[in-house]
Amino acid sequence: MAIQTEVIALPPRSPSRLAALRLKDFPLIPALILGFIALVAIFANVLAPHNPEIGSLTARFKPPFWQTGGSAKYLLGTDQLGRDVLSRLIFGARVSMVVGFTAVIFAGAVGTTLGIISGYLGGWVDQVIMRLTDAWLALPALMFAIFLAAIVGPSMWNIVIILGLVYWTRYARVIRGEVLSLKEREFVRLAIVAGCSKWTIMYRHILPNIINVLGDWLRVKLDPQLRQL
Amino acid sequence: MSNSIPSSASYEPTRQGLPVKSGPLLEIENLSTHYVSSRGTRVVRAVDQVSLRINAGETLGIVGESGSGKSTLALTILRVLPPAARIVGGRMLFEGENLVQKTDDEMRHIRGKRIAMILQDPMASLNPLFTIGDQVAEPMRVHEGVGRATAWSRARELLKSVRIPSPETRVRQYPHEMSGGMRQRIVGAIGISCEPRLLIADEPTTSLDLTIQAQYLNLLRELQRAHGLALIFITHNLGIVAKMCDQLAVMYAGRVVESGPVSRIFNTPAHPYTEALLNSIPRMSDSAKRLTAIEGQPPDLAALPAGCAFAPRCVRAFDHCRIEAPPEFAPDRRRTARCWLAASDSVPPDMLVRSGTT
């Protein structure tokens, strides 16, 4: 008995190198928006038509150009001190970017360090760090940040440090959880029986393995941080 | 090679003799490690009154059921016990130094350098994020402070010695690019990288298929011969013991119930548990019969029966076994057995408590 078989042409396999370039799942629109803001922030002093901090009192409360009384000189109008709103917006992007990124990185560094130590060492160290985290989480974060800012005075680096100190707790929690499962992994045990010190293990075996979790969290936390400013 | 026990009753080990130095490399005396629950209400005697010795270049096999304390014993020797475990007594003399009294920092310099260990699951023992070279080089860099370049060139040598083909390219690759057998040999290379005197292998072949197992065991033996390593081989495969080991210790419920040279234990087991273990191995010659299993369950280590722990399952138990736990008797020189039956065909017990005879 003969069996008829159909010849099915397999779809051609796409070469992997090209596939990577096809940007299939790449978030193109968000990347363009962010890229645009980043470029504006970087080239602020070239792009801004006026000095953002010095205005002329003769040109106060100018409306944007599309309203009556507005002019092309002040595209988005001026504020109560006669400063150009567009220029202030452009320079504001710079501050937002710098503060957002550095604050998140600072908070991430503090939180990761404490999280790894807490999770890996365990015992009373873990208890102390986690109770501190609990207490910290109980404070209303932004309120606390404003309170601290009122004490040390408002400067950009103060804000970075304050935001870092206010927001490290979540990183510590998440990282600690990740470390708890990592430290039971066989390669960590092998490092222990090979005589590595605790610090070597934390730095060489734990930290690299939590980088992807940390990366996700940095990204998640960066967004509200940028919006707050 | 085969993993089955030769069917003939008079088994002789095929291992070539090694020049054995006098004086044990590691001597364990009355070592006890207990797991204590956080309130101290439950005490699990995972390792209880264990005495063992191993000479340089020798292989000691430790067999026993799951939960008989084999792995805890290994972790105790390296002092890497989980927080709940306590060494409650005994001595471990390694090259004349008592490991029980070492500080954590001193122990760290012994681990990986003078005593190395291969873990139960070598497949997962490599850090996925570092190259093979980095990981083989790590103990050398930690213990001997050698630079990266030197450590890497030695890592290449080590990979060659564990028969990794083209070590030059392999050192730069990552664990996921290796097969299971290769990863295992790499873990072996990490184990011997600092030329330890003693290597503890905790069921290193359980996750491998039989042909790879055979290759790996041959490799371990070769490395052992080349470096004069003493090997503690923890397994529940008596076939591997027959192939690999000079000495054997059988553990049951945290205790060494019988110890001595492999050939003698296989020929004339002194403890009914050992006998039952040997009888439960399938043999090529009498395939028709059913295998003899050991009835019952291993005891709960937190609530051991009075008397001998094996008595409830022992076919030859008599009244005295259920009242008093037997001490270690010596049926002959170099052998011990924790069984009252062993007492009858040797000298009275108090003459024979181990410290007196060895």
Q: What does the domain layout of chain B look like in residue ranges?
A: 24-252, 260-283+290-357
Tokens of A2: 């003969």
Task: Write out pLDDT tens, residues A43-55.
Answer: 888 888 888 888 7
Residue A215 CA to residue A125 CA, distance in Å, equals 25
Instruction: Output the six-digit token pair for A148.
Output: 């601290």
Q: Are B220 and B231 in contact (CB under 8 A)?
A: yes
pLDDT (tens digit per residue) in B76-93: 999 998 888 989 989 999
Phi–psi pair at B31, nearest 5 degrees: -75, 130
- Residue B113 has its nearest CB partner, among A186, A190, A195, at A195
List the single range of A12-26, A57-71, A115-129, B298-312 with lowest mean pLDDT. Answer: A12-26
Give the pLDDT mean for B85-109.
90
pLDDT at B21 over 60: no
Q: Per-residue pLDDT tens for B180-207?
A: 888 888 998 898 888 899 999 988 877 7
**CA end-to-end span of chain A:** 77
Q: Is the pLDDT of residue A145 over 50?
A: yes
Per the CB < 8 A criterion, the answer to whether B162 and B185 are in contact is yes
**pLDDT tens digit sequence for A89-135:** 888 888 888 888 888 889 899 999 999 999 999 889 999 999 999 99
Exposed, middle or buried, B206 (CB in 10 Å: 0-12/13-18/19+)?
middle
Q: Which amino acid is at B167?
A: P
B263 phi/psi in degrees, rounded to 5: -60, -40
The Cα–Cα gap between B18 and B5 comes to 23
Q: Which amino acid is at B53?
A: R
> What is residue B22's predicted lDDT score, i.e. its pLDDT?
53
pTM: 0.76
Three-class SS state of B130: coil
Give the tens place of pLDDT for each residue, A179-228. Answer: 999 988 889 988 888 888 889 899 989 999 998 888 888 888 777 766 65
What is the nearest CA distance from B174 to chain A, expressed in angstroms?
14
Cβ within 8 Å, pair B128-A209: yes
Q: Which two tokens stand for residue B272?
A: 């009914």
Under a CB-based contact definition with an 8 Å cutoff, are residues A189 and B118 in contact? no
C-alpha to C-alpha distance for B178 and B180, rounded to whole angstroms? 7
Contact assessment for residue B21 and residue B95, using Cβ atoms and an 8 Å cutoff:
no
Domains of chain A (ranges; CATH) run: 94-228 (1.10.3720.10)
Pairing relation of β-strands B97-98 and B85-94? antiparallel
pLDDT at B213 over 80: yes
Contacts of B126 (CB under 8 A, 6+ apart): A187, A190, B132, B135, B175, B183, B186, B187
Q: Number of Cβ pairs closer than 8 Å across A and B? A: 66
For residues B153 and A198, what is the distance between their CA atoms, to the nearest angstrom? 26
Provide the edge-to-edge strand list for the sheet that holds B247-252.
B115-118, B198-202, B230-235, B59-64, B247-252, B255-261, B336-337
For tokens 């490599």, the residue is: B126
Q: Min CA distance, A200 vs chain B (Å)?
A: 9
Is residue B2 within 8 A of residue B243, CB to CB? The reply is: no
Question: What is the tens place of the pLDDT at every residue in B282-335?
Answer: 776 766 567 777 888 888 888 888 888 888 888 888 888 888 888 888 877 788
Q: Which residues of B touch A202 (CB under 8 A)?
A: none
C-alpha B78 chain-centroid distance: 12
Percent of chain A with pLDDT over 70: 87
Contacts (Cβ under 8 Å, ≥6 apart) of A88: A52, A79
What distance lies between CA B104 and its chain's CA centroid?
23
Contact: B142, A186; criterion CB under 8 Å: no
Side chain identity, residue B11: Y
The B-side interface with A (CB below 8 A) comprises 78, 80, 83, 108-113, 116-117, 119-130, 138-139, 142-143, 187, 190
Nearest to B78 among A187, A191, A193 (CB): A193
Q: Determine the topology of domain B24-252 in CATH.
A: Rossmann fold (3.40.50)
The predicted model gives B36-52 an average pLDDT of 86
Residues of chain B in contact with residue A123, where contact means CB-CB under 8 angstroms, are 83
Q: Which residue has the higher pLDDT, A127 or A67?
A: A127
Q: Are strands B115-118 and B336-337 parallel, antiparallel or unpaired?
A: unpaired
- The CA-atom distances, in angstroms, between B159 and each of B148, B163, B164, B194 are 16, 6, 5, 13
Residue B353: the pLDDT is: 46
The whole-number average pLDDT for the span B15-21 is 43
Judged against a pLDDT cut of 90, whether residue B346 lies above it is answered with no
Please tell me the distance from the alpha carbon of residue B168 to that of residue A69, in angstroms, as a whole number: 76
Angle between helices A207-228 and A85-121 (to 10 degrees): 150
CB contact under 8 A, A190 and B190: yes
Quote the pLDDT of residue B260: 92
pLDDT confidence bin for B256, thresholds 50/70/90: very high
Mean pLDDT to the nearest integer, B215-223: 87
- Residue type for position A57: L
User: Could you tell me what percent of chain A has a pLDDT over 90?
Assistant: 18
pLDDT value of residue B300:
84
pLDDT band (50, 70, 90) for residue A22: low
Q: Are strands B198-202 and B230-235 parallel, antiparallel or unpaired?
A: parallel
Contacts of B116 in chain A (CB under 8 A): 193-194
Q: What is the pLDDT of residue A67?
A: 81
Residue type, A104: V
Q: How confident is the model at residue A178 (pLDDT cuts 50, 70, 90)?
A: very high
Helices B132-144, B180-192: crossing angle, 10 deg rounding: 10
User: Which residues in chain A touch residue B111, judged by CB atoms under 8 angstroms apart?
Assistant: 192-195
Mean pLDDT score of chain B:
83
